[in-house]
Every structure is written in C-alpha cells, then in structure tokens.
C-alpha cells in the first residue's frame, strides 16, 4: 500500500481546504479515531470504574483496554505505570507537584535543556521557587546538538532531576535521552522526558531508554484532544502523593482522612476521559497499521525536498541541523526583513497553514538570536505537491512585501 493512500482516511485532508503544515501543534485525525470516540458515546457511554451494571462495566473495559494498548505502545513493564492525563503539560506538572515538591530541597539541582517547551520549563521554575532547588540549563550547539561530555560534567551528586525533550518542537533534533538517562542514574538523579514531539514520529521504548517519567499527548499522534499519558516507574509512582484529590482516587474516606487507591487510579481523580482513551488506543492501532518506518521515510523525503529548496532562496534561513534526517519533519525558518507573522499571513493567503511565533520556546529562540520564526511541520500524510506549494509561496514573500526578489 502506498503511504499516501492513508491520506484518504483523514476527512479534513480530503476536503483540500488547506495545505496543513502545522502537525507539530496538532495532527489531523483519521476516520477510525473519530469513529472510536463516537462509538463510545453512542454505544458504551457510562461512567467507568463506578458501576456494576453492564454499561458501566463495558466502559471500564474499554478504558482499561486502552491503558494496556498504551503500555504496549511504550513498552512499559506494567499497565499500572500508565497514567491517563489531559496532555503532556498535565503529565509534567503531575511530576513537578507530586515528586518535585516532595523530594527536592534547598541546594538540590534541577537540570533542563535550553530547548525545552515552556511546559517542561515553567513547572521546574515553580519547583525551584518553592523548594530552593537550583535550576540549571544544558546548552545546545547552534544546530541543536547536545554535548554529552558537557552534560556529564553538569550532572553531579547535587542533581536530583533532569528534564529534557526527546525531540525539539523548534529544531526537530532528536536528543540522546538514553545516554542522558544513564548519566543521571549514575549520580542518583531521575529523568523526565517530554515525548510530545517524538511519539508521533518514532518508536519509543521507555525501558530501553531507561527513563523514569515520560509524557506525551494524544492529539499530536492522530488521537483526540484532551487525552494524554504519563508513564512513571512503578516504585517512584507508589511513593508519590496524589496530584489531585476527589472521586475515584480513594479507597476509604473518613471525616478526618482518606486512604488512596492503588496505581494507577490514585492519579486519576474525577470522571475520566474514557472516550478520549478509546480514541487514543485507535490512533495507536492506526500507527501500527501504517508503520513508523514508512512514516519516517516519507517525512524525511519531504523535509529533504523543502530544505534543499530553501537553501536556493536568498534571504531564507533554516534553523537547526543542515541534515534533513535530524529535523523529524520540522522546518523552522526566517526570512530577512520579514516578520514571521507576515510570512504566515502570506502563506495563509496561498492556502498554506503554518505556525509563526516563539513556539512556546522563548529561551531557545533567544539563545539562537531570533525573536520569532515560521515553522512548517510535516507529517507522513503530506505530499510532495504540498511541499512545492510551500516553496513557491516562500519564494515570493519578500517580493510581496515590497522588497523585490
């Protein structure tokens, strides 16, 4: 089956309303995912985990089957290590509040990379303020690469937590999280990995990587919005207090106190997003059907084509590595004398949807010497014709702004 035959399964893409190049923000959804979420509400809608009547049992079975699907997807050891959240941001905050605030103290060190999305920076700024722990940064080279020798020197006995993204949402660079995890563990630190940009594009094995926490969002990998996942090593999760309190995360409640539920439910307070979990499980099955190797090959071809074309355009500068295979489908660029918002508006007028701004990574952009950029992010369902349309539009931006060619 041709990789682009799967494009037909995405209802919005078949409408040809836009050249959609903002998949790093959120992916489009195939019909099977939309059907899975709809089927839950049509045929199985009840509150999971709370009733003994058949409909509630069905809802519970669907929800817990989705958890097992995610466990297999991440190659986690047990389903109890899979916590359903709303998104990556909530998963990281869960660790910051439940682990960070309770385990870190004044003088301890938190190490984050300069390329983190704000969602993997602000929670650690909060932990630093509240506990007196010192927040330190792993710098990167201009092309995004991290230096493992420098990281080894930065991680000391004072380092208690390392937080790093697996794939940069600005540069697309893949970070060596397995090696960083090993360095962290040598000094007794734990590592949290932001997998929001990696899971849509590559196989992830949390046990092989050796990570302690791993968070991702369903909506970036063809699943519904409002459902995400936090993986955590069981021994760590068992020691952590609940992040939120309320219904379902308890075993027994008195006037004065409460006994909390076992994993994973002590971290899933309130009515859960069972329909979203069903949609996420279907998205994972869809990825298995297409296959990461075929997806990666198509995305590499598109990235290579666009980067080659942009190199030929004067005044256009691509951020990050010169190697297309190190961009994970992300091409972030600037055009001399043209603000990225203007670039985005001109492309929009040509029917092309891209992202412009700081991409929730302001420290990285400041480090790179730019205030904002334009980002085109490709998914396997994009075509070479769409890539050509992007290049044609970018080539005319300066002229349309009155600067000439």
- The answer to whether 203 and 292 are in contact (CB under 8 A) is yes
Catalytic option among 32, 140, 348, 360: 360
Q: Are strands 109-113 and 134-138 parallel, antiparallel or unpaired?
A: parallel
Angstrom distance (rounded) from CA 341 to CA 313: 19
Our CA angle for 168, 173, 178, nearest 5°, is 90
> Does residue 360 have an active-site annotation?
yes
213: β partners: 192, 232
231: β partners: 82, 214
- The answer to whether 104 and 160 are in contact (CB under 8 A) is yes
CB-based contacts of 3-11 (< 8 A; 24+ apart in sequence): 3/290, 3/294, 3/295, 3/297, 3/298, 3/380, 4/298, 4/381, 4/383, 6/30, 6/290, 6/380, 6/381, 7/381, 7/383, 9/286, 10/381
Identify the CA nearest to 285 among candidates 108, 107, 12, 66: 66
* Residue 209 neighbours by CB under 8 Å, 6+ apart: 177, 178, 181, 193
Cα dihedral: 144, 150, 156, 158 (round 10): -50
Radius of gyration of the chain (CA): 22
Dig out the tokens for 268 from the structure: 């899933």
Please provide the distance, in angstroms rounded to a whole number, between the alpha carbons at the two ends of the chain.
Answer: 42
- Helix spans in 223-349 (H): 234-239, 274-290, 292-311, 340-349
Q: What is the DSSP letter of 98?
A: I
Identify the CA nearest to 99 among candidates 189, 199, 197: 189
Q: Which residues are catalytic?
A: 360
């Amino acid at each position: 089956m041709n990789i682009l035959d799967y494009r037909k399964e995405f209802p919005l893409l078949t409408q040809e309303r836009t050249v959609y190049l903002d998949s790093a923000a959120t992916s489009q959804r195939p019909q099977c995912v939309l059907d899975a979420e709809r089927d839950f509400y049509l045929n199985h809608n009840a509150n999971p985990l709370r009733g003994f009547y058949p409909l509630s049992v069905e809802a519970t079975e669907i929800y817990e089957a989705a958890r097992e699907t995610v466990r297999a997807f991440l190659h986690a050891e047990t389903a109890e290590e899979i916590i359903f959240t709303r998104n990556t941001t909530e998963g990281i905050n869960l660790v910051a509040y439940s682990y960070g605030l309770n385990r870190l103290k004044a003088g301890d060190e938190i190490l984050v990379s300069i390329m983190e999305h704000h969602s993997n920076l602000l929670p650690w700024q909060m932990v630093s303020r509240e506990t007196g722990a010192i927040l330190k940064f792993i710098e990167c080279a201009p092309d995004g690469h991290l230096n493992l020798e420098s990281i080894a020197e930065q991680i000391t006995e004072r380092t208690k937590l390392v937080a790093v993204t697996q794939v940069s949402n600005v540069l697309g660079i893949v970070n060596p999280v397995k090696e960083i995890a090993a360095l962290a563990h040598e000094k007794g630190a734990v590592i949290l990995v932001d997998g929001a940009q990696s899971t849509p594009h590559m196989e992830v094995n949390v046990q092989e990587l050796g990570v302690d926490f791993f968070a991702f969002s369903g909506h970036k990998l063809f699943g519904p919005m409002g459902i995400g996942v936090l993986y955590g090593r069981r021994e760590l999760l068992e020691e952590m207090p609940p992040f939120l309190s309320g219904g379902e995360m308890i075993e027994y409640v008195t006037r004065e106190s409460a006994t909390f539920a076992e994993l994973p439910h002590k971290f899933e307070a309130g009515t859960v997003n069972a329909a979203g979990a069903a949609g996420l499980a279907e998205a994972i099955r869809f990825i298995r059907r297409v296959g990461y190797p075929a997806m990666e090959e198509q995305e590499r071809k598109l990235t290579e084509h666009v980067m080659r074309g942009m190199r030929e355009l004067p005044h256009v500068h691509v951020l990050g590595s010169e190697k297309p295979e190190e961009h994970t489908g992300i091409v972030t660029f600037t055009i001399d004398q043209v603000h990225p918002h203007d670039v985005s508006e001109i492309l929009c007028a040509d029917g092309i949807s891209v992202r412009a701004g700081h991409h929730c990574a302001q420290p990285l952009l400041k480090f790179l010497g730019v205030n904002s950029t334009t980002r085109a992010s490709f998914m396997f369902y994009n075509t070479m014709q769409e890539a050509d349309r992007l290049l044609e539009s970018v080539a005319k931006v300066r002229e349309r702004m009155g600067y000439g060619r």
